[in-house]
A = this chain, B = another copy of it.
């Protein structure tokens, strides 16, 4: 049996006694980073004074032995993010950990940095970050020296400073485009997400790769801007459907945008799929609740979150820390009624 602390001691208690920041305490106790020797000594003295036994008791410093997993996200109305929240919560509950939420208001780098600090101060032993904030945190160096493990949920590519749980978005987008080409489509529109969102570029690159390997010239006007919202999908669809020649298929970067394309097509009297094939990405619940049911890429959000939470909990509980690594889960194409060979 590990000796338990004789009273509730928090990281803050140790930090106050040692005269250092809570993050320094965490750095020392997790033995993971370079810390000045004077800082380390002050922390260890404080720990000794407080009669605290280390490792794994150290793990329980923050929060009375409860493992706490932070989750940073924004825009929970988005169905994919909602599935991430549910997957994280079900896993932390099942494994007896607590989920700490850190919703973002704006999503800029400053807010992401502050959010990481807040989660650590609140005792998070590992932090899961939703896209695109995991990418922003990585590119700005916010996670390079983080005192707790950081797990990126579905980033658009493997990242240097974070554990990554994702699917191969490039291959998935390429496969969906190959499928549309196999039906006979050549004029295939693409609606991408916001440029700062890495996933937008990766999926667009997959679309371009499939066209190139099929010897189909890239028409830049067929790539329309969006931001993954239904509203942006209406605008992008309006742009694409005004082109001459009009695309015979549109591949949207997520299902909400594909639903918007379908909605506008109906409004313009176009028959989906005979006048226009529509494909989405994510396979969120809406895919089978619109008419016609949507062909899309199955992107397992809840499973990604569940694997990420499991990894975070294992690392927080003292599991060996592997080198930063990426896990690629399986995706699949869900072929439904919204895609067909072009007519005429």
Contacts and interface: CB of A to CB of B under 8 A. Distances in A.
6 contacts: A4-B7, A82-B86, A93-B100, A230-B288, A256-B289, A267-B291
B291 A289 contact: no
A182 interface: no
Interface residues of A, number: 35
A335 to B, nearest CB: 18
A101 B82 CA distance: 16
A4 B64 CA distance: 14
A8 B7 CA distance: 8
Copies in the complex: 2
Contacts of A98: 66, 98
A6 interface: yes
A99 B103 contact: no
Interface stretch (A165-173, A206-214, A257-265, A303-311): A257-265
Interface string A63-86: 011100000000011010010011
Contacts of A93: 99-101
A90 to B, nearest CB: 6
A77 B289 CA distance: 13
Nearest to A288: B230
